[in-house]
Structure 1
Amino acid sequence: MLQYNKNMVKNLTSIEIYHQDFLDKMMRIWPEFLEVKGFVLLKKNKGDFEELDENKILSIYYDRTGFEASYNEFRIEDYFDWCIEKPIENLALAIKLSEIWECKLKRDFPSYKFHIIIGFDGKFTTIRFHKLRDEEGSWIALENLDDYKNNSIAVRVVE
């Protein structure tokens, strides 16, 4: 819980955020996750899910896990341009983001399990997640992580 003094309340009520870039970055750090038609998705824009066609999604991605892992992909360099030429810092940021996302997913969906997957190819870093489903396998098999010879892979298991 946060408690405020009067000066802080006055300052907080005067904040006006106009800069869309700032809002986009904050939404990735402490994102909004929504459950729509059984999918858990990272909210990227207003109205993202108004026309979510489950049948079309399943015909393209074959399962819910594949769609979630694809849709929920977030490439660090696309939002944090200060680290474009610093690949190891991108990776460090993704690891920290995965901790934040774990916290948020646990809080928002306490009865679900998730995999948060971090991929690093030496230049670019991606982070994505999907809900674990008994009827579908994981998007990346934990026992086969060393099979990805050209990429570094980490999976944070959220239970």
Structure 2
Amino acid sequence: MLKYNKNMMNCLNSIEISHQDFLGKIIRIWPEFYEIKGFVLLKKHKDTVEELDEDKIISVYYDRTGFEASYNEFRIEDYFDWCIGKPMEGLALAVKLSEIWECKLKRDFPNYKFHIIMGFDGNYTTIRFHKFRDEEGSWIALDDLDDYKEKSIAVRIVE
């Protein structure tokens, strides 16, 4: 619950968010997720995905999990330019975002399991997620994370 006085109500009513850069960043911090044809997708600014060609998706990505992991990826430094040249800050931000995303995914889709994957190459950090499907398994081999020698990998399992 949020309680506020009349002065705060007037202030809140007068807020006009028009800066597109701000909107693009805030939607990554507290993202909107939506489900279409069994895919859980990260809403992107001005996203217009309404129809998905499942046959084409399978032919390109081999499975639903691969498509979600690809579609739901973003690079921290593309949205938070203050992390450019500060790779450890980008990684720290990704860890915090993965915690926020976990809460949001659990709230929005309580009957699904997800994997949130963070990758760090020493300069740039990516974060992505996919719905866990028993018949497809994880997008990344959880038992073989040490085999990824060129990247640091972490997977947050959301159940």
TM-score, normalized by length of structure 2? 0.97
Residue in structure 1 matched with residue 17 of structure 2 by the alignment: 17
Q: Which residue of 2 aligns with 1:85?
A: 85
Number of matched residues? Answer: 159
Residue in structure 2 matched with residue 71 of structure 1 by the alignment: 71
RMSD, aligned α-carbons:
0.9
Counting only pairs closer than 5 Å after superposition, residues 50-65 of structure 1 correspond to structure 2 as: 50-65=50-65
Letter in 2 for 1:68: E
Q: Aligned with 1:146: secondary structure?
A: helix
Unpaired runs of at least 5, structure 2: none
Q: CA deviation at 1:97?
A: 0.2
1:134 alignment partner, SS class: coil
Task: Give SS of 1:138's match.
Answer: coil
d(CA) in 2 for partners of 1:52, 1:43: 14
Compute the displacement of 1:47 (Å): 4.3
The unaligned stretches of length 5 or more in structure 1 are none
Instruction: Confirm or deny that 1:156 pairs with 2:152.
Output: no
Q: For the structure 1 residues 95 and 47, does the alpha-carbon distance in structure 2 shift closer, same or farther, using more than 3 Å as the test?
A: closer
3-state SS of the aligned residue for 1:156?
Answer: strand
Q: Given the two structures, how large is their TM-score scaled by the length of structure 1?
A: 0.97
Counterpart-to-counterpart distance in 2, 1:22 and 1:102: 22
CA distance in structure 1 between the partners assigned to 2:23 and 2:9 by the alignment? 21
Cα distance in structure 1, aligned partners of 2:45 and 2:93? 22
| Match in the other structure for 2:35 | 35
Q: Find the counterpart in structure 1 of residue 7 from structure 2.
A: 7
Secondary structure (helix, strand or coil) at the match of 1:100 reads helix
Mean CA deviation greater in 136-145 or 95-104: 136-145
Runs (4+) of structure 1 moved beyond 6 Å? none
Q: Which residue of structure 2 lines up, in the alignment, with residue 134 of structure 1?
A: 134
Using the alignment, how far apart are the partners of 2:77 and 2:45 within structure 1?
A: 18
1:106 aligns with 2:106: yes
Give deviations 1:83-138, integer Å, cap 9, x for gaps. 10100000000000000000000000000000000000000000000000011010
